[in-house]
Structure 1
Amino acid sequence: MRVAAIQMVSGTSLDANLSEALRLLRQAAQSGVELAVLPEYFCFMGHKDEDKLVLAETPGLGTVQDFLSDAARDLKMWIVGGTLPMATDDPTHAANASLSYTPKGHCASRYDKIHLFRYDNGRERYDEAAVLKAGDTPTVFELTDHAGVHWRVGQSVCYDLRFAELYRALAADLILVPAAFTYTTGQAHWEVLLRARAIENQAYVLASAQGGTHENGRRTWGHSMVIDPWGEVMALQSGGPGVVIADIDMERLRSVREQLPSLQHRRL
């Protein structure tokens, strides 16, 4: 199955971000991609964290959800919408939700980011819990590719990457990691964590990132990539917008799991 990680440098204009996302998704579709994953906050990165609350949508109703549904249907491929803000019962907090859409435009799953990022090194400070409500449910969806192969696809978002127990619970063949890693933490940890998650779960990893300097002054690490179950990087783009494409193979995954059956050797 051909998959794509979409890398963006999203700004403060919803319309401009959606236009750029559609351009990149069309590029993926023209290359025969069956599943494309947009990055975290693909639709909007405001000047301050509270700005995203204004755009929070309700399930089944909203500009971004309509965009994702229409794009999936028109391009006839699976699309995972990175993340978008979804309304909660607390107007001061939104959920950071990742929605998957089938090639018919139907929403197949919703995952709300469980682990909320906090970081303060004296120069950079982030605290997602100030405006986001954490999710609590590990989420997978089933996908059958054009060849009739069934894939168990596990969803995660950005900071989740540091919590290995989530990925054990997903028990996925393909792990998705839409992200907006900071330049500082990404340079130090992004690739090593992605490769670790692939190796320990003997699964493909599809990581779509924000990658560049944004209108709000934030700098993200980028380095969107596809990693195979042996931990090898199959395709990568360091910075700037683009489409990272690779062909993933269920037989390759099964071979890795048969030759080194570490998943069967677990004791805890």
Structure 2
Amino acid sequence: MKAALLQLNVSDDPVANLLRTIQMVEQAADQGAEFILTPEVTNCVSTSRSHQQSVLQFEDEDPTLKALRDVAATRGVHILIGSLGLKTNDPDGRFANRSFLICPRGDILARYDKIHMFDVAINESETFKESSGYRPGTQAVMAQADFGQIGMAICYDMRFPRLADALVSAGAQILTYPAAFSPVTGAAHWHSLLRARAIEGGVWVIAPAQTGTHSSAQNRTRDTYGHSLVVDPWGEVILDARTDPGVYVFDLDLEKVAEARRRIPSRDNARPFKAP
């Protein structure tokens, strides 16, 4: 089947972002894609919690979710919304970083809240504390699409192989890692981590990403790495979108999952052991 990922450069304006995202989803469908994936925080990239509080919505009211459900139904495609920033009813006011799988009827097949928060100090000028604005999820999620089984994850989750292993053990043929990745850690680790997750699990890894410098009404810009990636179950990079926003179509052959696992049956060879 044909699939497509969108590499986006969104701003902190969800309305403007939605218009461009819908155009790109339509373009992907016009090119024959039956499964279309968007990056992390498709609706809004912002470093200002007060701005997020003013523009983000609860799930039931979010216009990006509604519009993408509508276009999935109109075009008869599966859409993985990499994630949306959404308001919650948490007492501390933190948001959810939530991914959705939408079926060709426009229904929500699965939703996943990002488990691992990006709380790091990369260097003196690049420090992140995602948990100050987003509350972590607690539940790993396997989604059953018409064409296969998808283990849902988001960005920083890729550094945690136990999550990937749990998803593959539950039957995942595809792992999704939509991202808004740091350029510093992206250059160092992005390709290696995603190839490792594909090789370890004998699965497809699909990672649609944000790219470039993201404009902000608050004059607080953020840069992301780009390089949306598709890796096959043998660890071969099928697609690297580099740094240009756009629609990137590729062939998704799930028979390669069984082939890779037959050639290297590492999961069958795994043995219990005592920890040191």
Q: TM-score range by the shorter chain?
A: over 0.9
Question: Is the aligned partner of 1:239 residue 2:240?
Answer: no
Identity value in percent: 35
- 1:133 aligned partner: 135
- 1:114-139 Cα distance to aligned partner (Å, 9 max, x none): 00001221111110010110001000
Distance 2:271 2:72 in 1: 41
Distance 2:139 2:124 in 1: 33
- 1:165-208 Cα distance to aligned partner (Å, 9 max, x none): 00111111001111000111111111110000000000001100
Read off the aligned partner of 2:182 and give its amino acid letter: T
Shift of 1:210: 0.3
Question: Is the aligned partner of 1:207 residue 2:207?
Answer: yes
Shift of 1:108: 0.7
RMSD of the TM alignment (CA)?
Answer: 1.4
- 1:13 aligned partner: 13
Question: Is the aligned partner of 1:266 residue 2:270?
Answer: yes
Secondary structure at the aligned position of 2:212 is classed as: coil
Shift of 1:245: 1.9
Read off the aligned partner of 1:168 and give its amino acid letter: D
1:48-63 equivalent positions in 2, closer than 5 A:
48-63=48-63
TM-score of the superposed pair, with normalisation by structure 1: 0.94
Shift of 1:46: 2.3
- 1:256 is matched with which residue: 238, 243, 260? 260
- 1:165 aligned partner: 162
Gaps of 5+ in 1: 146-150
- 1:182 aligned partner: 182
- 2:107 aligned partner: 106
Q: Which range moves more in the overlay, 85-94 or 200-209?
A: 85-94
Q: Which range moves more in the overlay, 119-128 or 157-166?
A: 119-128
Q: Which range moves more in the overlay, 50-59 or 226-235?
A: 50-59
Secondary structure at the aligned position of 1:167 is classed as: helix
Gaps of 5+ in 2: none
On the 8 A contact 2:112/2:153 being kept in 1, the answer is: yes
Distance 1:158 1:54 in 2: 25
On the 8 A contact 1:209/1:222 being kept in 2, the answer is: yes
On the 8 A contact 1:117/1:159 being kept in 2, the answer is: yes
- 1:88 aligned partner: 89
Question: Is the aligned partner of 1:218 residue 2:222?
Answer: yes
Secondary structure at the aligned position of 2:225 is classed as: coil
Shift of 1:224: 0.3
Would the alpha carbon gap of residues 175 and 50 (structure 1) be closer, same or farther in structure 2, given more than 3 Å must change?
farther
- 1:148 aligned partner: none
- 1:155 aligned partner: 152
Distance 1:143 1:30 in 2: 21
Q: Which range moves more in the overlay, 239-248 or 135-144?
A: 239-248
Shift of 1:59: 3.8
Distance 1:75 1:212 in 2: 29
Shift of 1:54: 3.3
On the 8 A contact 1:225/1:244 being kept in 2, the answer is: no
Shift of 1:240: 2.4
Distance 1:203 1:50 in 2: 39
Would the alpha carbon gap of residues 50 and 176 (structure 1) be closer, same or farther in structure 2, given more than 3 Å must change?
farther
- 1:58-110 Cα distance to aligned partner (Å, 9 max, x none): 34332122112112112211111111123132252011100111111001111
Shift of 1:50: 4.2
Would the alpha carbon gap of residues 88 and 231 (structure 1) be closer, same or farther in structure 2, given more than 3 Å must change?
farther
Distance 2:49 2:189 in 1: 24
On the 8 A contact 1:4/1:246 being kept in 2, the answer is: yes
- 1:195 aligned partner: 195
